[in-house]
Structure 1
């Protein structure tokens, strides 16, 4: 799923997918709506702590991106956000074809937005197993323009 790079959803996707860690995780947007973002991440042996089971850091990264991107989907043009606090609870092994994260806004504020994500391990059959849940706080700020080329923060 890709949106035009001139739409708010397209700008959000471009901002997230420009980050090297998002590229390393292989993130793919499957839904962007105000206050909601769904992401998928393929199973990659390089991110596993044992064959076929993702390490917790990769699971946390996916959940964090989904939650904070959902928070970012509610920001006005010219604003950006970043994680200031997050807690993840791992509920089941992250095994399967891919992981799917569903991020959502819990409470949107001007400076801080509370957001959450549920992460599901997706089997080859398509069956989903909830494997993690995350609650986070995102700090919202106006993007600063440095002299010269625009810098994405």
Structure 2
């Protein structure tokens, strides 16, 4: 049974999207948020040649980026106001080629505490609306309180 998380920050979705989409890497990848709920995030990254290792197949780094952004963003939905998070550990297992028109990554919180949040992510290759699992990941994020002025 999936835990029902409650965000302590009423503006969690706006804060998360603005923080992530301000990152140059997120902008370059073209991350598009599809769903943002407490403890869960779904995002898309469209296929582009510069993200491939051969024409038509996404490179492992793009797959990892999708998993990392989805999982750590899911963790970010549970942060209180004035906190951010950062990846500190991860494990990615690629199980099939990413040869679709986009990647869809779904991140979800597994365990949440004040300082560390563990999340999981599944990354799918999407072609003509059909999803094929291409990778799974387990990620740990460090939760960081911003300096008070």
Query: Which of 117, 129, 133 does residue 132 from structure 2 map onto?
Result: 129
Partner of 2:5: none
1:41-80 matched pairs, under 5 angstroms: 41-80=45-84
CA distance in 2, matches of 1:137, 1:120: 21
Partner of 1:149: none
Task: Extract unaligned runs of 5+ from structure 2.
Answer: 1-9
Normalization by structure 2: what TM-score? 0.91
CA distance in 2, matches of 1:42, 1:20: 16
Query: Which of 34, 40, 55 does residue 36 from structure 1 map onto?
Result: 40
Q: How many pairs does the alignment contain?
A: 140
- Give me the CA root mean square deviation: 1.2
Query: How much does 1:97 deviate?
Result: 1.2
The runs of at least 4 consecutive aligned structure 1 residues that moved more than 4 Å come to none
Which deviations, in whole Å up to 9, do the C-alpha atoms of 1:20-73 show, x marking residues without a partner?
Answer: 110111100000000000000000111100001010001101100000000000
Normalization by structure 1: what TM-score? 0.89
* 8 Å CA contact 2:98, 2:125 repeated in 1: yes
CA distance in 1, matches of 2:147, 2:70: 24
Task: Extract unaligned runs of 5+ from structure 1.
Answer: 1-5, 147-153
SS of match in other structure, 1:94: coil
